[in-house]
Amino acid sequence: MSRRSIHLDGFSHENPVPAASRIGGLVATGAVHGGGRGSAPEEFPSDFGEQTTRMFERVAAILAKAGGGLDDALKFSVRLAAPEHRDELNRQWCAVFPDPASRPARQVSIGTTRPHILVQCEVLAFVTGGRDD
């Protein structure tokens, strides 16, 4: 098996890294946020809820590009800009993963990489679809 980079139109990092990487069925994302390309402040909504919605949509798109979907996510490591955002994160989490018997593991920490990034995550998934080489 060889490693394969996964890129997503409309999303990139400032550094020379892909949105995610896959070896076999294992997919690991880099930091995924709710802004645009890179980390330009003008490409980020100022609302935490909107950034969170975009973040989950982007994770779904990355996993789809890898041949899977949100049901393949094993763990989310989420960083919040402030602890008071946890309630909104939990609300959206329950909407994205409505079955309590089938939710990914999750770890939340406080502190993002830039002040205008209100939420970001890294995801570990196991995808059985798509190319496995």
Structural domain spans, the chain: 4-126
Instruction: For strands 26-29 and 20-23, give the pairing.
Output: antiparallel
> How many angstroms separate the most distant Cα atoms in the chain?
43
110 touches 83 (CB < 8 A): yes
Q: Mind listing the pLDDT tens digit for each residue in 3-59?
A: 999 998 877 777 788 999 999 999 999 999 998 777 788 889 999 999 999 999 999
Exposure of 104 by Cβ count < 10 A (0-12 exposed, 13-18 middle, 19+ buried)? middle
pLDDT(90) > 60: yes
Query: Could you tell me which CATH number the domain at 4-126 has?
Result: 3.30.1330.40
Q: What is the pLDDT of residue 133?
A: 45
pTM to 2 decimal places: 0.93
Q: Mind listing the pLDDT tens digit for each residue in 100-133?
A: 999 999 999 999 988 999 999 999 999 998 765 4
DSSP letter string, 32-71: EESSSBTT-GGGS-S-HHHHHHHHHHHHHHHHHHTT--GG
